[in-house]
A and B are shown apart, each in its own frame.
Chain A
Amino acid sequence: MANQQPSSGNPRVDVEYRRKKSAEEMRYQIVSFALMIFLTLVAFVAVGYDGFSDWFTVPFILLLAVIQVIFQLYYFMHMSHKGHEAPALFLYSGVVVGAVTILAFTTIIWW
């Protein structure tokens, strides 16, 4: 394959750079993991605590789930990296179809 060329005549330079890059990326991963754990804890506490009304709790924990999934997709699954335009198209197409389905199924039971 011609599309992966070493970018310098001295591979050691690249290695140093890459090691630094991946260590940096790993730090982001740890931070996202900590945030995901935190969001999970908040969601469980919000449900375990009786002081909130259900009209607050349900949208609140759904919002926490969406934020957590964004971290999972963009950091753990690397969607924040370059070259993920097609994956984003596929995934969001799926999300749109799925959202319409859920909307249809939850509104059909109102009557």
Chain B
Amino acid sequence: MQAEEKFTYETWPAEPEKATLEAKNKFLGFWFFLGGETVLFATLFATYLALKDKVPSADHALAKDIFEIPLAFAATMLLLTSSLTSVYAMYHMKNFNFKKMQLWLGLTVALGGAFLALEIYEFNHYVHAFGHTFTSSAFGSAFYTLVGFHGAHVAFGLAWIITLMVRNSKRGLNLYNAPKFYVASLYWHFIDVVWVFIFTVVYLMGMVG
């Protein structure tokens, strides 16, 4: 099976993301990378937990003062739904339906973009309403590093998916690009995995106190 071979719905392999040697390597290598990402985010969570509410004086805002349910809930719903839309995209990829895959990837990008916009608003709000900045306290540094790193992952994931969509817009699906789309969707799901812990550990546990 050649990567450039033209396929039809009938000849499209059942697992295109692992049908060529390159695809197999990509799949394995990407999961290895995700194992490393797990450690990266775990260390940032560890730092945040150790430095949460560690502020130099009593006039600094604490976690329970700044976090609010509506904002965290909206961000969570956006990212969780974008995870489902990328599942739909991979469903159409496996069914060799390029147009529908692009459509669902487009929806994923839109939801991810909305999430990112909300996060920018959120950070801006914390800085101006509470004076909660990266340098205002150890709490601020740990918070912006953890959540900001996640936000940077979202931004990178958006750029990645958009690049794939544009580069392959005229090519259609083949075994050269199917593994690329698959791996990008794994990355997107992983971003949501990290967010589940961020909304629980940072926002919800922050509001509890």
Asked whether A36 and B208 contact (CB < 8 A) given A64-B200, A94-B39, A98-B43, the answer is no
Taken together as a complex, chains A and B put the C-alpha atoms of A49 and B85 apart, in Å, by 31
* B28 touching A86, Cβ below 8 Å: yes
User: Is B49's beta carbon under 8 Å from chain A?
Assistant: yes
Instruction: Specify which of A15, A58, A69, A104 is in contact with B46 (CB 8 Å cutoff).
Output: A104
Q: Report chain A residues within 8 Å CB of B45.
A: 98, 102
User: Is B189's beta carbon under 8 Å from chain A?
Assistant: yes
Asked whether A40 and B46 contact (CB < 8 A) given A72-B189, A73-B193, A90-B35, the answer is no
Total interface residues on B, CB under 8 Å, equals 57
Nearest residue, chain A, Cβ from B42: A98
* B87 touching A47, Cβ below 8 Å: no
Instruction: Specify which of A4, A86, A99, A105 is in contact with B47 (CB 8 Å cutoff).
Output: A105
The secondary-structure label for the interface of chain A is helix
Taken together as a complex, chains A and B put the C-alpha atoms of A44 and B208 apart, in Å, by 11
User: Is B184's beta carbon under 8 Å from chain A?
Assistant: no
Extra contacts besides A54-B209, A72-B193, A77-B189 (13): CB < 8 Å: A15-B9, A15-B10, A19-B95, A29-B87, A33-B83, A33-B87, A54-B208, A65-B200, A87-B27, A94-B34, A95-B38, A97-B39, A101-B39
Residues of A near any B CB (own CB < 8 A): 1, 4, 11-12, 14-15, 18-19, 22, 25-26, 29, 33, 36-37, 40, 43-44, 47-48, 54, 57-58, 61-62, 64-65, 68-69, 72-73, 76-77, 83, 86-87, 90-91, 93-95, 97-99, 101-102, 104-106, 108-109
**Can you name 28 A-B pairs with beta carbons within 8 Å?**
A1-B1, A1-B19, A1-B21, A14-B10, A18-B14, A29-B84, A36-B80, A40-B76, A40-B80, A40-B199, A43-B200, A44-B69, A44-B76, A47-B69, A47-B207, A72-B83, A77-B186, A86-B31, A93-B35, A94-B39, A97-B38, A97-B39, A98-B41, A98-B43, A99-B42, A101-B42, A105-B49, A106-B49
